[in-house]
Chains A and B, each alone.
Chain A
Amino acid sequence: MEQPAQNTSSGVDASFDQLNRDWYIDKAVQVLVFLGGISAIVFIIGIFVFISKEGFGFLVGDFNFKEFFFSPNWRPTSESKETFGILALVAGTASVTGLAMLIAIPFSLGAAIFIAEFASGKTREFLKITVELLAAIPSVVWGFIGLAIMNPIIIETFNVPVGLNVLNAGVILGLMAAPIMTSIAEDALKAVPDRYREAAEAMGATRWQVIYKVVLPAAKNGLLGAVLLGVGRGFGETMAVLMATGHSINIPTSVFDSVRALTATIAAELGETAAGSSHYQALFTIGIFLFIITFIINLAADLIVRGVRKG
């Protein structure tokens, strides 16, 4: 069986190592999909660059840091003196988002726990689908609901002159954000391995004790991520707050005050400004501010959620 192994120099056959058509196609596809892959980065940078470009003139011109962040006066079209203070707008956004979270956080966490830990079979499936469908309702429809349905209800129930206010927008935004928060929170709870639950149950813990002592602590970061994304969503919501807040510049003292949000201001005023004017540029500057804040919120949420997966 032993064969002479000396003729190693002969038998060279490199015919398979040809760069054929398939090889070039493969390389070309690799480049194309890479371009697709980096497009997300290109766009995110593009967003920042283009809104900064439009807002730049204001930032180096009329922009006054103290006035911009600490003045409650947003009078971009004043004849005598234009003032660009976003404090009242920030207060509007914060009050509406705050109320929305007050409603959405307990309800969505409760719903998430119910769906993940208590509901089973058909109920669970039904609830999950319902939550998913609720999350799909467009924000302009929510705005319309605030305007056409919530508004008269609030006027009648609380006997106030105007039903478009912090309460209205807060409830609407809460209902909007809750399904998304529920489904992210449910994912976080489901990600807790079953063996944790089994181990605790084997030690005689009741269902609730298992959830309270084992599941919730283990899912803590994911739940926090869900809350953060809800905040980000509320903060950035445009149409619903435009239609349901009453859109008047105010630092609210009660939930029945009408307010105006940062996002809604851009939506309402951009169409009426001349490109390149201070007002126009100031609106883009608000855009930069919104972009940076949501970027930070999303980054934080991602870091927190990723933290769980690693740990």
Chain B
Amino acid sequence: MFEATQLNRKNKTRQRMFSIGLGSMTGLLILPVALIMGMLIYKGAPVISFEFLFTSPTNGMTAGGIFPALLGTVLLVIVALLASVPLGVAAAIYLSEYAPDNWFTRAINLAIINLAGVPSIVHALFGVGAFVIFFKFGTSILAASLTLAIMTLPVVIVATRESLQAVPMAFREACWNMGATRWQTIRSVVLPNAITGILTGVILEVSRTAGETAPIMFTGAAFFLPLLPQGVFDQTMALSLHLFVVSTQVPGMPEQLPFGVALVLISMVLIMNSLSIALRMYLRGKKKW
């Protein structure tokens, strides 16, 4: 009896040690990033002002604001979404509602995984070869956005497919039994119940798209432009590339300015992601069946 108790106690201590050990590993993953974020805020926040956000860079980008880059990122994201959301939702509808369980569907899934896994610079090369050169879009918002759209397509597809599959099969069968066509069933019952889930995916995609740099470097984003873009065939500045430029390419850069740019970019991305997470949690709390 005594021995067993001692063994028990030893086990308890050991278990606590494991728990603490693993917990501190988790902490060590998060802590440096938290410190870094703190530093970004500490150094970047003083730079950020209304003027910083809404005026153009001046003095060879060493002063002034980031408005053209901010606007450019918004444009790139919008055009990319216009291409990828319809395509991604269609692909997800096919995979969730129509695709049979066969080798061809597995090939599609593998392609989606690879689309997400191919290095961003390879997407950039593809964008140059396909959109800039072959389709003759030149280096333009259109070429850059399409490159981004293809790169982030898996985000929309996966999120949409998951939320479609979360709609119980019985609802579809009930509709089919009423004589609804497949599309009528999807339109009237499946999609309305998956729309919030799809939205979380779209927001995630916005965040991904806004942060990407490599795919737009040679397809449509420019280091510096004196004028704002007038259409989708113009080049544009972009926030992510602007951060790269001001932190590596410009001599005599005041130390604080890149921190300001980095802070704006990361705030944009994290706000989007938080929004997506909040929406997902709201959805979880609000069951309809």
Contact = CB atoms under 8 A, between A and B. Distances in A.
B125 to A, nearest CB: 4
Contact of A284 (B21, B28, B125, B213): B125
Size category of the binding interface on chain A: 35 or more
A216 interface: no
A47 B98 CA distance: 26
Interface string A50-89: 1101100000000000000000000000000000000000
B28 A107 contact: yes
Contacts of B118: 44, 47, 236, 290-291, 294-295
A267 B214 contact: yes
B14 A37 contact: no
Nearest to A25: B183
A36 B33 contact: no
Contacts of A235: 119
Interface in B243-289: 243-244, 247-248, 255, 258-259, 262, 265-266, 269-270, 273-274, 277
Interface string A83-116: 0000000000000000000000011101101110
A148 interface: yes
B19 A118 contact: yes
Interface in B1-39: 11, 14-15, 18-19, 21-23, 25-26, 28-30, 32-33, 36, 39
B148 interface: no
Given A47-B123, A50-B129, A284-B129, A133 B87 contact: no
Contact of A137 (B86, B89, B241, B266): B266
Interface in A183-220: 206-208
Q: Closest 5 CB pairs between A and B?
A: A36-B90, A138-B211, A236-B119, A37-B94, A110-B25
Interface of B: 11, 14-15, 18-19, 21-23, 25-26, 28-30, 32-33, 36, 39-40, 86-95, 97-99, 107-108, 110-115, 117-126, 128-130, 133-134, 150, 153-154, 157, 181-184, 186, 204, 207-208, 210-214, 217-218, 240-241, 243-244, 247-248, 255, 258-259, 262, 265-266, 269-270, 273-274, 277
Given A37-B91, A39-B91, A47-B126, 20 more contacts: A29-B186, A36-B87, A40-B115, A40-B157, A43-B150, A54-B133, A107-B25, A110-B25, A114-B19, A114-B22, A118-B22, A134-B29, A136-B269, A138-B211, A144-B258, A145-B40, A145-B262, A238-B120, A270-B217, A275-B133
